[in-house]
Amino acid sequence: MSTVRKPKLLVTELWGLGDLVIAVPFLQAACQRFEVSLLAKPYARDLGAHFFPSATVIAFTAPWTAFRRKYRLLSWPWRDFLRLRSLKKDRFDIGLSARWDPRDHFLLRFLGAKQRIGFPRLNSRIFLTAPLPRPDLNAHRYEYWLVAGRHLGLDLPEREQVGLVDRAPRCLVVVHTGAGQKLRVWPLPRYQNLAGRLRQAGYQVRVICDPDQQAWWRSVAEQDATAPQNVKELLAILDNAGAFVGNDSGPGHLAALTGVPTFTLFGPQLSQSFAPLHPAAQWLDGSPCPYKPCSDYCRFPAPNCLHDLKESAVASAVLNFLAKHIENPRTRS
């Protein structure tokens, strides 16, 4: 007895870990109806093995996603582009990008997808066969996936439902001090003081960080500070977390997706566009700036919007957040 072939769907999400985590509910729903291939950075392999194992992950680091010197064309990985051409043989029925990015739209055309779905910008409609209406300018990134999902007839959870995972209560507070960009990092000495305040209040705290921060943490006697080397290691740490505190970063989005309540410090980006997907997620926005949101660069020597967040205000807000969502071992009866 022959089986009906699922249509082949190529999805592009070439940016950061947080962006890809936001796409997970779409990818999970798409795998039910399509033979899904995902073009994304290499860490998508670990993420896919955990959340959407039936999808094929094609690792590709697009040079325009670099934060510096992204348009030095002579240094682009042209051999990687040539290898991508082999994807044409897969004859994708549909190609989809949930970004209003002409580079994605050209890539869908370059790879030969028959139907090409996306949000047009700067005349990129010429590369698309099904241009989609763009959500509000400051809409949450997940709204783009909802629009794309509705176009394909997928049943995606609403934003407020994502992150509703049945988890046993845990007491550990994971404090993550890294971010994909330096301008999204609240100063490390302030995180050190915050971790101390939380411990004084009776909470169990584990500090995790980016690799280039680990030496600093150990220099201030935080010997157990660890820098997860990949998504798999990060997921293992988050499995023991009862709450997550950190910058606007991929690990925060991953924590929320696994059901961990998150508290995020926002600076250059807008919380309404990038808040982690969890109904208990909370955050503090940095001070106003006429140039927000900033994607890659800050116009000032330091991101004042984020650095203006005072230790006392952050500590008070985090303690109130933890009191709602995690058991304090000191007060356990």
**End-to-end Cα spacing for the chain:** 62
pLDDT tens digits, 149-162:
999 999 999 999 99
* 172-331 matches 8-160 in CATH topology: yes
d(CA 148, CA 118): 8
pLDDT given for residue 180 in this prediction: 87
Flag whether the pTM goes above 0.75: yes
CATH of domain 172-331: 3.40.50.2000
d(CA 55, CA 228): 24
pLDDT given for residue 33 in this prediction: 96
pLDDT given for residue 81 in this prediction: 74
d(CA 86, CA 9): 16
DSSP assignment of 20-46: HHHTHHHHHHHHHHSEEEEEE-TTHHH
DSSP assignment of 195-264: HHHHHHTT-EEEEE--GGGHHHHHHTT-TT-B---SHHHHHHHHTTEEEEEEESSHHHHHHHHTT--EEE
pLDDT given for residue 78 in this prediction: 67
pLDDT given for residue 99 in this prediction: 92
Per-run averaged pLDDT (10 residues), the chain, 333 residues: 82 95 97 97 96 96 70 66 85 96 93 96 93 92 97 95 87 95 94 97 96 96 94 96 97 97 95 95 94 82 92 97 86 60
Instruction: Give 89-115 as a 3 state SS string.
Output: HHCCCEEEECCCCHHHHHHHHHCCCCE
Before 293, cis peptide (omega within 30)?
yes
What is the domain partition of the chain in residue ranges? Answer: 8-160, 172-331
pLDDT given for residue 49 in this prediction: 96
Query: What's the Rg (C-alpha) of the chain?
Result: 21
pLDDT given for residue 167 in this prediction: 85
pLDDT given for residue 2 in this prediction: 54
Q: Which of 172, 166, 177, 195 is nearest to 243 (CA)?
A: 172
Q: Domain 8-160 is in which class?
A: alpha beta
